[in-house]
């Protein structure tokens, strides 16, 4: 056992990790819910993730999916995104959130009776500290989403059960910001070790970065008691090795499979493959730089969007385990505009538009790297489709890690691959490309009534669909596989193992 002391250092790979961490919905997910956890006795689940030696208990700096899966089992969430519910969130140690009429103050009510593993009661001071921790402890940028919407320094705790958060500017979606990824930690926590007080359904019995973590059930957990007695999270970096370990019975469950690996498991008896459902799929997109000709011409951008055969990508790259995109983010979230028609594969129209714009035979280099399952393969097909409509397209493939490493170079690429983890559109919109869209998104976040806000959001999406600079071809879910007898795992963006059950 190596109790690792987490020090400064910042962590997280690319954007993937980013919002990646953020979503853990609560209902409306593809769960094989185990309604009655039977024999809550001596069961152990062995689950394998990519992990790696960069693993850390500090989820504010953790670069791998495993870091968040583990943190979510050890620390209770304040609340979670839950696109199906009235408030859009499911409550945790925060039992409700009130919004002032002028949308400028949020009041968080802390659940009574929640305790940390050291016996201390969880109070408003802990909740406020949990919200401030990403800034205080130098968390990675994606963890700081609450600080982007709220004035955390001016926040107050009038009593043990109440946190009052003033917004930086009036916003209606503050609940979604607070609930995107925030876990409850104790006031004053500066380092994360196996013995750091926590409040989640499990506690850490041992932690060896890059190898394994043993978690044991926390019998004092305030919520639904886990059926499992313990969970062993193992780190197996290579997807094929993960599949081999599952097939041989060395582990019960594996996550983060590539499409081809999942396919090899389809015909294996005693193993079932599961895919996270919408909205829990990453948005794989190719951004066109509008800074220079010919991509500054909206006709050229539309031609490129029409040239690509999305169905073919879903079939040939993902073997059907993906969702066709419509050049818009946040598919599956409540404010996603279902009314906008799906952009079809229309190479004829693409050629016409290119001719109108005088851009026939234009050359275009698409830069890509292996940062998301199927990203390079998708880009390869996109380039073929573009060639088919007369564009002199070429693919530039970077080694793993490099795509986002040099951010200035990334921004300067005329046509570049990227992806966004599942997250609501408005709060995660990056302004700067189309001012009109930016204004609409602002209205969608601060409008007086819900109808007004939705109308503004739809108008923004309409504009993005017509004039935007993203070719959004596909939404990529997380693919997992388990042996027979494993159930109750919620396939969110990252799997939630808290209510899993195991039988032989």
- Where does this chain touch other proteins (CB under 8 A) — which range of 30-38, 84-92, 246-254, 338-346? 246-254
CA 408, chain centre distance (Å): 24
Tokens of 85: 């519910």
Q: How far apart are CA 215 and CA 212, in angstroms?
A: 10
Taking the complex as a whole, the smallest distance from the CB of residue 372 to other proteins amounts, in Å, to 11
Residue selected from 29, 58, 181, 367 as contacting other proteins according to rule CB under 8 A: 58
CA 457, chain centre distance (Å): 21
- Where does this chain touch other proteins (CB under 8 A) — which range of 24-32, 244-252, 440-448, 487-495? 244-252
CA distances from 323 to 311, 424, 475 (A): 9, 17, 5
Which string of DSSP letters, residue by residue, matches 377-390?
Answer: HHHHHHHHHHHHTT
DSSP-derived letter for residue 77 is B
CA distances from 136 to 55, 142, 147 (A): 21, 14, 11
Contacts of 42 (CB under 8 A, 6+ apart): 229
Taking the complex as a whole, the smallest distance from the CB of residue 290 to other proteins amounts, in Å, to 17
Establish if 61 lies at the interface with other proteins (CB under 8 A): yes
Taking the complex as a whole, the smallest distance from the CB of residue 31 to other proteins amounts, in Å, to 27
* 23 preceded by a cis bond (ω within 30 of 0): no
Establish if 84 lies at the interface with other proteins (CB under 8 A): no
> Containing H/E element for 163?
strand 162-166
Establish if 241 lies at the interface with other proteins (CB under 8 A): yes
Residue selected from 238, 296, 315, 392 as contacting other proteins according to rule CB under 8 A: 238
Establish if 150 lies at the interface with other proteins (CB under 8 A): no
Length of the chain equals 504
- Judged by CB under 8 A, the chain residues 291 through 350 that form the site for other proteins are none
> Scanning the structure block, which residue is given the tokens 């279902």?
338
> Containing H/E element for 89?
strand 89-91
Residue selected from 36, 41, 119, 248 as contacting other proteins according to rule CB under 8 A: 248
Establish if 269 lies at the interface with other proteins (CB under 8 A): no
Site map for other proteins, 163-202, x if CB under 8 A?
----------------------------------------
Establish if 8 lies at the interface with other proteins (CB under 8 A): yes
Establish if 232 lies at the interface with other proteins (CB under 8 A): yes
Binding site for other proteins (CB under 8 A): 1-2, 4, 6-19, 52-56, 58, 61, 63, 138, 140-142, 144, 205-206, 208-214, 232, 234, 236-238, 240-242, 244-245, 247-248, 250-251, 399-402, 404-407, 409-410, 418, 420, 428, 430
């Amino acid at each position: 056992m190596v109790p690792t002391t987490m020090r400064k250092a910042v962590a997280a790979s690319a954007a993937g990790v980013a919002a990646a961490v953020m979503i853990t919905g609560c209902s409306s997910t593809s769960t094989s819910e185990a309604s009655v956890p039977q024999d809550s006795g001596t069961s152990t689940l062995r689950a394998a993730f990519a992990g790696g030696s960069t693993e850390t208990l500090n989820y504010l700096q953790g670069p791998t999916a495993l870091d968040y899966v583990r943190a979510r089992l050890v620390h209770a969430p304040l609340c979670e995104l839950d696109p199906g519910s009235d408030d859009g969130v499911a409550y945790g140690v925060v039992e409700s959130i009130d919004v002032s009429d002028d949308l400028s103050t949020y009041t968080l009510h802390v659940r009574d009776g929640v305790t940390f593993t050291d016996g201390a009661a969880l109070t408003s001071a802990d909740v406020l500290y949990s919200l401030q921790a990403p800034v205080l402890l130098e968390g990675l940028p994606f963890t700081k989403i609450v600080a982007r919407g709220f004035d955390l320094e001016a926040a107050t705790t009038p009593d043990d059960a109440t946190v009052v958060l003033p917004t930086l500017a009036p916003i209606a979606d503050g609940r979604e910001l607070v609930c995107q990824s925030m876990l409850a930690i104790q006031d004053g926590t500066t380092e994360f070790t196996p013995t750091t007080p926590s409040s989640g359904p499990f506690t850490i019995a041992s932690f060896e970065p890059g190898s394994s973590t043993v978690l044991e059930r926390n019998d004092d957990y305030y919520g639904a008691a886990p059926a499992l007695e313990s969970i062993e999270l193992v780190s197996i970096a290579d997807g094929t090795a993960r599949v081999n370990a599952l097939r041989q019975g060395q582990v019960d469950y594996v996550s983060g499979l590539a499409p081809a690996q999942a396919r090899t498991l389809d015909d294996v008896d005693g193993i079932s493959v599961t895919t996270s459902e919408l909205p829990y799929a990453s948005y794989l997109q190719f951004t066109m730089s509008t800074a220079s000709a010919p991509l500054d011409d909206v006709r050229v951008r539309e031609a490129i969007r029409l040239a690509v055969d999305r169905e073919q990508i879903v079939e040939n790259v993902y073997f059907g385990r993906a969702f066709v995109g419509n050049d818009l983010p946040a598919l599956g979230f409540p404010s996603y505009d279902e009314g906008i028609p799906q952009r079809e594969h229309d190479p004829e129209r693409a050629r016409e538009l290119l001719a109108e714009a005088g851009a026939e035979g234009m050359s275009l280099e698409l830069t890509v790297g292996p940062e998301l399952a199927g990203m390079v393969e998708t880009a390869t097909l996109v380039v073929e489709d573009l060639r088919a409509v007369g564009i002199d397209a070429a693919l530039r493939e970077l080694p793993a890690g490099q795509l986002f490493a040099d951010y200035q170079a990334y921004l300067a690429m005329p046509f570049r691959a990227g992806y966004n983890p599942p997250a609501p559109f408005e709060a995660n919109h990056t302004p700067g490309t189309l001012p009109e869209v930016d204004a609409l998104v602002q209205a969608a976040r601060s409008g007086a009534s819900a109808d007004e806000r939705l109308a503004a959001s739809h108008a923004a999406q309409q504009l993005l669909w017509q004039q935007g600079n993203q070719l959004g071809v596909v939404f990529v879910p997380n693919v997992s596989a388990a042996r027979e007898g494993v159930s109750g795992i919620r396939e969110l963006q990252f799997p939630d193992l808290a209510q899993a059950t195991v039988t032989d």
